């Protein structure tokens, strides 16, 4: 169904922007895995303002460290950054609670569901 919709897009509005359909075809495995996620997760992922802000904070924390003493250190640092960012959210995205539940289902033991 996704391929059919991509073809429809390519024949319709995508005709003005052929690079979009070409990019999706080149990266089909990643594109299709995105659509396999629950709608709540997709909404959080493609809502770019929150993601851009989060990415900036993670990049800043990683850049300050320079290098890491072990393989686990970057993952721990990112986890701490995510925890601190979430604690400072006064108004998290509306679908964040639903997205957290979907993340817990999708990634089981790697995502601890806390409030």
Residue 27 shares a structural domain with residue 49: no
Kindly report the average pLDDT of the chain as a whole number: 83
Joined together, the tokens standing for residue 94 give 């509306």
Residue 27 shares a structural domain with residue 62: no
Residue 31 shares a structural domain with residue 42: no
Identify the CA nearest to 111 among candidates 84, 69, 88, 79. 79
Helix (H) or strand (E) holding 51: helix 48-65
Residue 87 shares a structural domain with residue 99: yes
Provide mean pLDDT across the span 16-32: 88
Q: What percent of the chain has pLDDT over 90?
A: 15
- Give pLDDT, residue 114: 58
Helix (H, G, I), strand (E, B) or coil at 79: helix
Provide mean pLDDT across the span 26-46: 83
Is pLDDT of 82 > 60? yes
Residue 60 shares a structural domain with residue 4: no
Higher-confidence residue of 94 and 83: namely: 83
Structural domain that includes position 14: 1-36
């Amino acid at each position: 169904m996704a391929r059919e919709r991509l073809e429809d897009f390519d024949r319709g509005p995508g005709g003005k922007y052929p690079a979009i359909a070409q990019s999706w075809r080149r990266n089909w495995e990643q594109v299709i895995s995105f659509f396999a996620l629950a709608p709540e997760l997709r909404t959080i992922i493609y809502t770019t303002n929150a993601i851009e802000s989060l990415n900036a904070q993670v990049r800043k924390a990683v850049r300050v460290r320079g290098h890491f003493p072990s393989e686990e250190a970057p993952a721990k640092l990112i986890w701490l950054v995510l925890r601190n960012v979430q604690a400072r959210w006064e108004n998290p995205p509306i679908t964040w609670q639903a997205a957290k539940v979907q993340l817990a289902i999708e990634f089981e033991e790697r995502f601890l569901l806390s409030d």
